[in-house]
Each structure stands twice: as C-alpha cells, then as structure tokens.
Amino acid sequence: MAQGSKLIVALDTIDAGRARVWADAVSPHAGLLKLGLEFFLANGAAGFAAITGAPIFLDLKLHDIPNTVAGGVRAVLPLKPAMLTIHAAGGAAMIQAAKQATAGAGVDRPMILAVTVLTSLGHDDLEATGVGGTPAEQVLRLGRLAVASGADGLVCSPLEVIMLRQALGPAVKLVVPGIRPDGSAAGDQTRTMTPAQAVAAGADWIVVGRPITGASDPGAAAADIAAAIR
C-alpha cells in the first residue's frame, strides 16, 4: 500500500486469481483496492479475504429497504472493508440505517459512501427514468440528502467535485470514478476527467480500473497515475 495515495485501483473481474495478480502489481502505488459487485458475487467472503496489499473499498452499491440494507452492512462488517457503498437514491431512512449498522464495528467501522449519479448516466438517461434537471442538479440534491442523513462521503463524477465542495464543505469525503488518463478510451463512462484534473478539483480519492488493469504492465500504469496526482 502506498501510504497517503489518492489512487484507488478497481479490480473489476470475477477471476479471483487475476484479481490477486493485479493487487500484487498495483498495491505499492495504491491507497485502496476496489472490489465490486461482480467480484463479490462470484467469490464471496473467501475471495475478498484473498485480496491483500492495501485496504479494500467494497463497492456493492446497496439499495433496498432500510432494514435489508442494514442487514447487508452488518453481514460484511467481519470482512473489515475500509469503505462500503450504498445508493443515495435509497433515501434518508436507508442511509441512516446503513450508518447505524456500522456502529458495532468500532475502529474497524467502514466509511459509508453514498453513490449519487452513476458516471455512465447522462442527461437523457436520467430523463428517461423520470428525473428532471441536469445530472449536476441531481448529484447535488442526492449529495445533500446523503450527508444530512449520515453518510461519510459521496461517490460522484469528477465534473461535480467543485460544486459539491462548495456546497458541502471540506469535511465530506469525495470518491471519484470516471477517471481516464490522457489517451484512454472513455468506455461506458460519459462524465470523465483526467487523474490530475480530478485531484486538483478536490477529489479525496480517484478510482481507476481499465486504464490500469488493461495495461500491458498494470504496476507501471498505476505508478504513472500515482505520480501524476502525488
């Protein structure tokens, strides 16, 4: 683990062996390693425990009735993830229940991060689901709700970092996916920024997946990004 690194490397695969190889390569340059829904569904707690080298950001994006989400949070507490995601759109009671469910973890309590608007969604996508206004307006609405309901931080696109900092202040932790180094393909992300731009805007951590794990040398790719934002 690189102490103080703002880089989170997303190990997006269902192959536990591949994830371990990536983790070994990138951990010297990363502050955290992210395991998402596909990895956790395929490999469970045993797969989680096999990934070492840096603290784990468990990105499950829980979204259900408050009691169910609280139960889900309690179920993963023994794994001691450093961060855990829920959807801000689940509402105030759900966010409060998730935060309260971490109380018994003591010093191992995970940071509860509320996902605002997925970085794959643009204006037309939100409109199709019945959400009026721009993505930025929805991010701010959900961000304010989540922080008021007890979330430790937010997951947002890099384009909303400055806005959220101005609205919510410096204490709220901002974890930012949708990061694409110069020359990288956007893929399924629609609201993106380079690593240096996102950190300059005020991101606490940036999440980078395919530009690192898809590189011929993931360790070198992680080192380059870590150096760019140091």
List active site positions.
Answer: 61
Distance of CA 53 to the CA centre of its chain: 18
Beta bridge pairs of residue 179: 193
Residue carrying structure tokens 């139960």: 71
Q: 16-26 and 218-229 are packed helices; what angle lies between their axes, rounded to 10 degrees?
A: 50
3-state secondary structure the chain: CCCCCCEEEECCCCCHHHHHHHHHHHHHHCCEEEEEHHHHHHHHHHHHHCCCCCCEEEEEEECCCHHHHHHHHHHHHHHCCCEEEEEHHHCHHHHHHHHHHCHHHHHHCCEEEEECCCCCCCHHHHHHCCCCCCHHHHHHHHHHHHHHCCCCEEECCHHHHHHHHHHHCCCCEEEECCECCCCCCCCCCCCCECHHHHHHHCCCEEEECHHHHCCCCHHHHHHHHHHHHC
